[in-house]
Amino acid sequence: MPKILAIDTSCDDSSAAIVDGLVVLSNIVASQHQIHKQFGGVFPTLAKQAHKENIAPAINLAMKQAQVEWLDIEAIAVTVGPGLAPALEVGINKAKELATTYKKKIIAINHVEAHALSPLALSRGKKEKIVEKQAENLPSLAVVISGGHSEFILIDKIGHYQKIGQTIDDAAGECLDKVGRLLNLGYPAGPLMEKFAKKGRPGKFNFPKAMTSHSDFDLSFSGLKTSARNLILDLEKNEKLDKQTIYDLAFSLQEAVFEQISYKLERVLFSENLEKRIYPSRDFLRHLEKDQIKVTEINEIWLGGGVSANMSLRKVIRKLLQKYYKLTGKKIPLRVPYSKRLCGDNAAMIGLVAGFKFARKEFARTEDLDRKPNLGILC
Amino acid sequence: MKILKLNSDSTEIIEEAVKCLENNGLVIYPTETVYGIGASAISSKAIDKLLQYKGRREGKPLSIAVTDQTMADKYVEINEQALKFYKNFLPGPFTVISKSKNVVDHRVNSEFGTLGIRIPDYPLITDIVKKFGSPITSTSANASGKKRPYKIEDVFANLSEKQKSLVDLVIDAGELPKNEPSVVVDTTLTTPIALRGSLQKNGKAEVLWSNDENETIELAGRLMLNHLNQLQNNGLVFALNGSLGMGKTIFAKGVAKFIGIKETISSPTYSYINEYDYKRLETSGTFYHIDAWKIDDQKELEFLNINELVKKNNVVVIEWFSQIQEWLALNEKITIVTLDFEEENQKRKILISENHK
């Protein structure tokens, strides 16, 4: 397989990786948390500046760790979207510059597609026997849950996707981050919320179950955020917001977020005629007439995105899949990224998708390469 | 082109005007506000010609002049709110928007299927319409986006030879008193709201009681439609205030819907700012959706570079505007529409004001 240099600067991590097919040879992530933590969010202009400073060293380190030279690299892959426009720009410009200097092909990658396929990545040293096996396991359903995304994506073959549900307001990770910030847990508060949730006691707080009345597969977390906010204000007023209460609240909120994901996932699994549940508007029907996705059943669940590192989320989904097995006799395996680093934003997953695109000869022309901050999974 | 001075015999003027309208011609006429341009609103040929004259419309509606409420009733559905305006304010410098009955040429309607009705407080014009027997367009005589016309020279100064050649008749009343253009009142939402001009005294905000999310989305569309000129000249800012869950993001969705953005609009709290490129009819620009909730000082505000974002064809929606108001210094030319979302007796109240009103 060709060795590919991959670059991702979509949000607040500057990342570079060397990938050989499904095998990750190196995956460097230069986090900007130190810069953004003082504000509690990511300023695109600050992120851009940090990417500019970080990306070249990240690339050098990725090549060094993978023990490759420019001669070994066959193509450069870069995230073109979705993400923060000024941040994306840095990676794209870098890729263009390197492609011109070293005369390499460029491959444009969708960041969400990369999260969706990230569970397929293999660590160095493993054989690629899984490649053939993989075809048998399609169609699959990718569940991408992160600070910026919450989506259900049907995959009948690699490169052919259909989004069937997504958050209509905040992403799941965003909800946890925001409430974490209300509790003064800093930035990003999500991982801390997970730690606190582990110390929390079940059943202390009750959050509303959102979107159960909607028959679609969409998610909504802004209601949870609002009720958490009211609850926190109330607890503060009554001076009841002590450590254990925060733990309990983190537990219940996280549970409510994951319950909703699991609830909609269950609905997807038990739905008939999935291919008719086209998302989001009838406009897409036209687009799909010729090339309609064909899904009769789901054979695997692929969980990706920053929140996929959360063990409680994995547990909730595994529990659902067990229930499904009991009721239908069909086993659906859950596949997750092999490391925590592959869950968050990283370039290895970008290189992984690029491997598939390389095989299909889907290269981008340098002059056409442009940032697409709101790129969807269909494009 | 024929020019008739207003001091000539009014019977002759009326006859000439009616003859011209019957032949699908264009008439420039005086009103109590500015000079208007009239074409038969039910004739597609006349509207073709008018649209050629006005230039880029970008979906902006043309209103019509009628003689009275009875005549208006043939062209629009007059609801209770509209009725109040007909009784209290017409004839006069008001354009009352109602749901169209689609009798006029479809291009006279707005893209929301609504139609503006004007009953000018200018007997000569109502006499012409009466004699003509059907409504005429009542849009200002300037080409789209150009200076308000208070005298015939104002009109012609900004016209090409080709545009001038389209005009068949001019009724010249000399220089008109500098009255504001008509107040445009939309009566198709729950509460009537002034889209141009103001119904309130002393610069007080317009009040809309929104019943549901759809209405907030509609409101965003109406406000966009009525500020297309400002958008195309210097860019447009919507400043939104109100606590969590009041409908600020819904309003942003309405703006996006109007300019044809298909992506789901979600709150940009995490990254402060989301951007979406759009193309609506002939206009392309960028929609910036900003959440200022976490902006705590001027330094942080500067990271957003808002001054550079607000420019021609860009629309900037800022949630939690009050958070940054004191530090944000925008060019005075830029129109800022402020919407304050409140809750009163479990109903959603939206206060709408504008820096240039």
pLDDT by residue (tens digit) across A238-282? 988 899 999 999 999 999 999 999 999 999 998 877 766 655 443
To the nearest whole Å, the CA of B332 is away from the closest chain A CA by 25
Retrieve residue A135's tokens.
Answer: 């075809």
Choose one of B172, B187, B218: the last residue of a domain: B172
List residues bridging with B71 in a β-sheet. none
C-alpha to C-alpha distance for B177 and A208, rounded to whole angstroms:
61
pLDDT band for A292, please (50, 70, 90 cuts): low
User: What spatial distance separates the first Cα and last Cα of chain A, rounded to whole Å?
Assistant: 25
Retrieve residue A243's tokens.
Answer: 């450590």
* Contact (CB<8Å) B244/A225: yes
Q: Does A164 touch chain B (CB under 8 A)?
A: no
Q: Are A347 and A51 in contact (CB under 8 A)?
A: no
What region does A343 belong to: left with phi over 0, alpha with psi -120 to 50, or beta? Answer: alpha
Cis peptide before A337 (omega within 30 of 0): no
User: Are B228 and B341 found together in one domain?
Assistant: yes
Retrieve residue A57's tokens.
Answer: 């060293």
Percent of chain A with pLDDT over 90: 61
Q: Are A209 and A259 in contact (CB under 8 A)?
A: yes
* Contact (CB<8Å) B266/A45: no
**Cα-based distances in Å from B134 to A109, B118, B284:** 59, 13, 37
User: Are B58 and B167 found together in one domain?
Assistant: yes
Q: Is residue B221 part of a domain?
A: yes
Q: Is residue B183 part of a domain?
A: no
Which DSSP category does B70 fall into?
H
Q: Is residue B44 part of a domain?
A: yes
The distance of Cα B261 from the centroid of its chain, to the nearest Å, equals: 21
* Contact (CB<8Å) A222/B267: yes
Average pLDDT estimate for B263-289: 87
Choose one of B172, B206, B234: the last residue of a domain: B172
* Contact (CB<8Å) B270/A174: yes
User: Are B205 and B167 found together in one domain?
Assistant: no
Counting Cβ atoms within 10 Å, is residue A112 exposed (0-12), middle (13-18) or buried (19+)? buried
Q: Out of B244, B264, B275, whose CB is closest to A373?
A: B275
Average pLDDT, chain A: 88
pLDDT higher than 90, residue B194: no
A210 compared with B5, residue with greater pLDDT: B5
pTM: 0.81
- Residues A4-63 have pLDDT tens digits of 999 999 999 999 999 999 999 999 999 998 888 888 778 999 999 999 999 999 999 999
Tally Cβ neighbours within 10 Å of residue A124.
12
Return the pLDDT at B67: 97
C-alpha to C-alpha distance for B147 and A103, rounded to whole angstroms:
55
Average pLDDT, chain B: 91
* Domain at B52, CATH number: 3.90.870.10
User: Are B164 and B269 found together in one domain?
Assistant: no
Percentages (nearest 5) of helix, strand, coil residues in chain A: 45, 20, 35
Return the pLDDT at A285: 40
Q: Are B120 and B63 in contact (CB under 8 A)?
A: no
User: Are B119 and B167 found together in one domain?
Assistant: yes
* Contact (CB<8Å) B269/A11: no
User: Are B243 and B120 found together in one domain?
Assistant: no
pLDDT higher than 90, residue B19: yes
ipTM of the complex: 0.76
Q: Which of A37, A43, A174 to mutate to test the interface with B (most CBs of B within 10 A)?
A: A43
**Cα-based distances in Å from A182 to A40, A229, B295:** 10, 7, 14
Q: Is residue B308 part of a domain?
A: yes
Average pLDDT estimate for B292-308: 90
User: Are B151 and B221 found together in one domain?
Assistant: no
To the nearest whole Å, the CA of A370 is away from the closest chain B CA by 13
Nearest to B208 by CA among B185, B175, B181, B236: B185
Q: Are A371 and A379 in contact (CB under 8 A)?
A: no
- Residues A299-326 have pLDDT tens digits of 999 999 999 999 999 999 999 999 999 9
Number of domains within chain B: 2
C-alpha to C-alpha distance for B198 and B195, rounded to whole angstroms:
8
User: Are B96 and B218 found together in one domain?
Assistant: no
pLDDT band for A376, please (50, 70, 90 cuts): confident
Which residues fall within 8 angstroms of residue B198, CB to CB, at 6 or more apart?
A: B183, B204, B206, B357
CA-angle at A116, arms to A114 and A119, nearest 5° = 95
**Considering only A63-67, B68-72, B326-330, which range has the smallest mean pLDDT?**
B326-330
Q: Print the domain residue range for B93.
A: 2-172
Which residue from A minimizes the CA distance to B266?
A: A169
C-alpha to C-alpha distance for A239 and A290, rounded to whole angstroms:
61
Rg over CA atoms, chain A: 21
pLDDT band for A293, please (50, 70, 90 cuts): low
At residue A123, the 3 state secondary structure works out as strand
User: Are B57 and B205 found together in one domain?
Assistant: no
Q: Are B313 and B283 in contact (CB under 8 A)?
A: yes
Q: Is residue B86 part of a domain?
A: yes
pLDDT higher than 90, residue B26: yes
Look-up of token digits 């700012």: B273
C-alpha to C-alpha distance for B15 and A188, rounded to whole angstroms:
75
Chain A segment 278-297 residues within 8 A of B by beta carbon are 280-281, 283
Look-up of token digits 């005549």: B71
User: Are B126 and B222 found together in one domain?
Assistant: no
Return the pLDDT at A283: 40
User: Are B109 and B9 found together in one domain?
Assistant: yes
Percent of chain A with pLDDT over 70: 89
Counting Cβ atoms within 10 Å, is residue B344 exposed (0-12), middle (13-18) or buried (19+)? exposed
C-alpha to C-alpha distance for B37 and B142, rounded to whole angstroms:
8
Q: Is residue B268 part of a domain?
A: yes
Q: Is residue B182 part of a domain?
A: no
Q: Is residue B180 part of a domain?
A: no
Q: Does A38 touch chain B (CB under 8 A)?
A: no
Return the pLDDT at B139: 93
DSSP codes, A8-36: E-SSSEEEEEEEETTEEEEEEEEE-HHHH
* Domain at B204, CATH number: 3.40.50.300
Which residue from B minimizes the CA distance to A283?
A: B262
* Contact (CB<8Å) B294/A40: yes
Collect contacts of A241-244 with beta carbons under 8 A, ≥24 apart: A244/A199, A244/A201
User: Are B50 and B131 found together in one domain?
Assistant: yes
At residue A365, the 3 state secondary structure works out as coil
Q: Are A156 and A294 in contact (CB under 8 A)?
A: yes
